[in-house]
Chains A and B, each alone.
Chain A
Amino acid sequence: MSYFLARRIAGFLLTLFVVSIVVFAVMNVLPGDPALTILGLDSTEEARAALRGRLGLDEPVVQRYLAWIGGALHGDLGQSYSFDVPVSGLIAERLPLTLSLAVSGMALTIGLALTMGLTAAARHGRAGDWAIMLLSQLGIAVPAFWLSMLLVLLFAVKLRWLPPGGFPGWGDPVAAARSLVLPTVALALVQSAVLARVTRSAALEVMRQDFVRTARATGFAPRHVLWRHVLPNALVPIVTIVGLQFAGLVTGTIVIENVFYLPGLGRLLFQSIANRDLITVQALVMLFAAIVVTANFLVDIAYVVIDPRLRAQRA
């Protein structure tokens, strides 16, 4: 067990390390002169030289990488060029919004998907099953940003129930929550389509087994059997996809925040790209990639927690 864990942790750290090299390489080494990118073609050579000096671009690449990663490990992600404040401050300011969006989106995704998937499995082969599968097939094909626009058209433009976008700040929790409803639903509807399918097929696999028949024969209510006996045994594939989806959800927030003008990390990423603020972009891309890698790592660990058989095998 501890050997398995140590191996996974080592793999996780190694992946993070290589990801940081890729991000750094793409942002620093390949595109030529970052000072030119930041200042634009009409900048003077002196201005570019001054900026290169300020950003430490004259130093060898390896040294710059070490300085960046060393700083990042201490929470120092450098100084944003366009906002002229530390990048870590910018991130800390916007993280709560993105995190709330991702977590509420994930919670709604899981709730919707488990209900839809288990309902479809329980009605296997009947109309309800077909309807749910059809819906989820459609959900997979609908881009989240378009769904967002349709939701805005219906609930903000036509019915005027919810705001079309923007964020009033956390000072007014009700207004803040209201402005997160449509983005959360847009994120979750699309993601739950995939998860519902996985839940359905995993549940069907389990439902054929003897202990489920026994539980039914013992006289447990169908709903009880479904949620207490079938679901726990169908969790391994479901958790795999949840892990992958959390990654999808986090990158999904990048798009959704831009649709709804929410001042989170995704919006910051775009502002930074527009402002050619490479230092902020680099920090944010690394942060998003790190979240994805961490989610994958946690899924690996979660297997062992969920399935005691794997624990025995891998010990």
Chain B
Amino acid sequence: MTARLPANILIGAVLVALVAGAAVLSAVWTPYPYAAIDVANKFAAPSATHWLGTDQLGRDLVSQLMAAAGNSMTVAVVAVGIGCSVGTVLGLLAAARGGWVEEIIMRLSDLGFAFPALLFAIMLAAAFGPSLSMVVIAIAFINIPTFARVSRAAANQIWRREYVFAARAAGMSSFAISRDHVLPNIAAPVIVQATIEFAVAILVEAALSYLGLGAQPPAPSWGRMLAEAQTLMYLAPQLAIWPGMCIVTAVLGFGLLGDGLRDISDPRLARQRSA
């Protein structure tokens, strides 16, 4: 018997698969090279040769959107990956050690909440110059406190379980207990959080690239495509539609997936939310 998956997980998974699929595919194939300029063919309407038409330089829109998906997903995977790993290790350490170690880690993570991701990224871009790696660092950094909190809260509960007491009595070190018993049991909330943070990362990358602080030309990015489209709003309003749709698809997909996974991993919460 297969349990019926909630609608939000299904829809979320389909949307994520769509974006992730385009991202992976773009690494090996796009209809045209995304930066190939063909001025004679500029502002072409959607057709069999250019499915969504071309932009002001005659570049194929579909190819650009696909390559941008690759860019966006890479930023999200690397940034959330770093933030999640470092944050979870800190959270595990806080829970394992307690006392002043926990206090310091948690107070420092409070500090992270004083800097919205966008502001932090702007500060880094101003100090070090705008680039995609600055965006990755900023998003990763801002994610550390979030994951430290989530993993510490979950880990503290595991540390009170009897099998952990047993492991301790058997002489296992706190490191080994954290690795073998705590980490596998806090994976669910951490994965849920990561899915949600993916959505945030994609939004922040898009906003920063839109502002000119993220992906630099000719690197493709949905945010930068929108910035270029804005100057052509009267001439070619259609250019302002597709990149935005891509951002919404990706963010909505990860958001729905994260919500759905959270409901599954914490049924009490699901009851509360749907009540």
Contacts and interface: CB of A to CB of B under 8 A. Distances in A.
A116 B183 CA distance: 40
Given A153-B240, A255-B207, A285-B122, A22 B111 contact: yes
A164 B113 contact: no
B91 interface: no
B115 interface: yes
A272 B125 CA distance: 12
Contacts of B251: 140-143
Given A15-B111, A19-B114, A27-B126, A149 B230 contact: yes
A150 B240 contact: yes
A281 B125 CA distance: 11
A270 interface: yes
B230 A292 contact: no
Contact of A27 (B115, B123, B213): B123
Contacts of B233: 149, 152-153, 157, 164
Interface stretch (A51-59, A89-97, A201-209): A201-209
B275 A143 contact: no
B243 to A, nearest CB: 8
Interface string A103-146: 00000000000000000000000000000000001101111011
Contacts of A141: 199, 247-248, 251-252, 255
- Say whether chain B's binding surface is mostly helix, strand, loop, or mixed: helix
A149 B240 contact: yes
A152 B230 CA distance: 10
Interface stretch (A63-71, A166-174, A246-254): A246-254
What's the interface size class on A, roughly?
Answer: 35 or more
B127 A258 contact: no
Interface string A197-216: 00001001100100000000
B119 A285 contact: yes
A288 interface: yes
Nearest to A147: B244
Interface in A1-31: 15, 18-19, 22-23, 26-27, 30-31
Contacts of B122: 254, 269, 273, 285
Given A143-B203, A143-B206, A149-B230, A289 B275 contact: no
B273 A143 contact: no
Interface string B232-251: 01100100100110011001
Contacts of A146: 226, 240, 243-244, 247-248
A143 B247 contact: yes
A273 B126 contact: yes
Given A152-B233, A258-B211, A251 B248 contact: no
B116 A292 contact: yes
A248 B119 CA distance: 10
A201 B273 contact: yes
Contacts of A268: none
Contacts of B252: 137-138, 140-141
A259 interface: yes
Nearest to B254: A141
A9 B115 CA distance: 19
Nearest to A124: B275
A237 B251 CA distance: 24
A192 interface: no
Interface string B248-267: 10011001100000000000
B244 A289 contact: no
B142 to A, nearest CB: 12
Given A18-B111, A152-B233, A201-B273, A285 B123 contact: yes
A254 B114 contact: no
A251 B119 contact: yes
A208 B272 CA distance: 12
Nearest to A259: B230
A262 interface: no
A103 B240 CA distance: 28
24 contacts: A15-B111, A22-B111, A22-B115, A23-B123, A26-B123, A26-B124, A30-B128, A138-B252, A141-B248, A141-B255, A142-B247, A143-B248, A146-B243, A146-B248, A153-B240, A201-B273, A251-B116, A251-B119, A254-B119, A255-B118, A259-B230, A281-B126, A285-B119, A285-B122
Given A142-B248, A143-B247, A255-B210, 15 more contacts: A15-B111, A15-B114, A22-B111, A140-B252, A141-B248, A145-B210, A146-B247, A149-B240, A251-B119, A254-B118, A255-B118, A273-B126, A281-B123, A293-B114, A296-B113
